[in-house]
Chains A and B, each alone.
Chain A
């Protein structure tokens, strides 16, 4: 798609400015640490020296990965299924996926704790329950991201082509559908992990020491440390997501399946724009 180069650079430039300016102001504040004119990293070294950092970080990462796993396992098949078999109900499920945004977090916590008191402690008394709740919190975004990805590929043609070549559902799913849905799935993964690493209110009320909860508990001592910690948290989340992104991209693989078709699993340059297998089938 050729759009004017000037348009592209102006748009991205303005966007970049809007995103970076507040971050830069925060970072500048955190570097000041009270001494006019002298920048220093004391706020950061103080922040990272506080006890409990490692444990809370580990808890958060585990919860985040758990929530991500549950999200993908739950939503990807559902979205594919709905788009394939019940397209008339797509909009209804969309609307259902938005429900979590209509329920305040405090109501979800009170409700879960109140309704499921009799469940085993392993479930409700450990951070495991957080992963399950975060799946719900992220659902409005993750459902949309996966659905957006699914609707942007030609699902029926892919499925028909694969089935007519004799592929079973599992092969179809893993070799044909998933690679084509990479950008949607990655977006959903990013959103879940970032949400989990940043969620504070529910984790705090339930008494779990996740990374955001730990952050708030140590920041009371110094305003610069508080800001430094929140910036560090954002940076850490970003690094984790980048690692996820690179892990989620496989190598270019050419496989000759039982039905004699060369399937290209990953086109490195054009994420999300994948030629249809039917266009490349050689029988």
Chain B
């Protein structure tokens, strides 16, 4: 570990990508990591997508802004090992197993060490408590007339994981399952039919629509809702979070090191840092449940304060396999516009 720190310091810089400062506490993470090891932390294309992250690894080689570490959705992590059809062939990740490797469940990592899940969020309803007096505790309550024109998604479900996950979460609680997302699409069709669905980007492009009351409730990851609570409080709006009754839906992101990283030691140090209790707690403070939480709870290294701030779940969340998710995504891509258009 000391050798790694020394090598990283020699490199002096680390290139991150697609880590928005308000997403899962990345703002603090970037500052803390930079301070602790005296490294310059770059975050290029901070609002980028997982697809762009992989493209950057392939296309930005040798340009100075090629990413060293990426944080991508699960299907993209798998592509990073096997190739993305139509974009690149073969593996673009480097193998690395951190000190905490064994604390991550087997289903949440690539057995050879190419990637591992880092943190997760649960789909939650956030709402403007100044306007909505009764908390929407169920999915059906979003259909109430007080939400007229007021229920929004973070972004387009065909291109945004948060948007897609909202539809998946709805499916789990309206008669569907991880293998059947159609009821979820139909729920939004119904929401639109009663006039409650507002298609603006409510979260994906900042919280201005929530601040000016265009949108009264949104569906987004717990960690994003927590950051909206903070931001909107500072501008006088009480934003509250509710995990609706029923089956919660969770999704993890996966972290991987680029095969062509310009700063390989710094990249590995970042992984070590983020999977150590210090780093994992930083994610927890942002409202994102870290991958090693069970081990941390056993060892007593988890931050109790951060844990308390996360809304309690009615039951353990559902996690989709890659196959289930791929099929569900295909249906959303083909049916979304006709459902809510």
Contact = CB atoms under 8 A, between A and B. Distances in A.
Asked whether any CB of A lies within 8 Å of a CB of B in the complex, the reply is: yes
Interface of A: 29, 33-36, 110, 113-114, 117, 121, 124-125, 204-208, 216-217, 219-224, 226-227
A34 B47 contact: no
A110 B208 CA distance: 31
B85 interface: no
A117 B56 CA distance: 12
11 contacts: A29-B208, A34-B236, A35-B236, A117-B61, A125-B62, A125-B63, A207-B60, A207-B65, A222-B231, A222-B235, A223-B211
Nearest to A218: B21
Q: Pick the 8 closest A-B CB pairs, nearest first.
A: A34-B235, A207-B65, A207-B44, A223-B208, A113-B59, A125-B63, A223-B211, A220-B22
Interface string B90-125: 000000000000000000000000000000000000
- Please tell me the size bucket of the interface on B: 20 to 34
Interface string B229-249: 001001111000000000000
Interface of B: 17, 20-22, 43-48, 52, 55-56, 59-65, 206-208, 210-212, 231, 234-237
A216 B205 CA distance: 9
Contacts of B63: 121, 124-125, 207
Most chain B beta carbons < 10 A, residue from A35, A121, A207: A207
Given A217-B46, A222-B235, A207 B22 contact: no
B223 to A, nearest CB: 13
A217 B21 contact: yes
Contacts of B237: 34
A204 B231 contact: no
B207 to A, nearest CB: 5
A121 B60 CA distance: 10
Most chain A beta carbons < 10 A, residue from B22, B46, B235: B235
B231 A221 contact: yes
B79 to A, nearest CB: 16
Given A29-B212, A124-B63, A220 B21 contact: yes
- Judged by DSSP, the binding face of B is loop
A227 B21 CA distance: 18
Contact of A224 (B44, B48, B60, B211): B211
Contacts, number: 74
Contact of B64 (A125, A204, A226): A125
Contacts of B65: 125, 206-208
A125 B47 CA distance: 20
A226 B205 CA distance: 10
Nearest to B46: A217
A204 B47 contact: yes
A204 B62 contact: no
Contacts of B43: 217
B209 to A, nearest CB: 8
A110 B60 CA distance: 10
Contacts of A208: 65
Given A33-B235, A121-B63, A205 B56 contact: yes
Contacts of B235: 33-34, 222-224
Contacts of A206: 60, 65
Nearest to B235: A34
Contacts of A204: 45, 47-48
A4 B120 CA distance: 66
Nearest to A222: B231
Contacts of A205: 45, 48, 52, 55-56
A222 B207 CA distance: 8
A181 to B, nearest CB: 39
Contacts of A121: 62-64
B59 A110 contact: yes
Contacts of B234: 34, 222
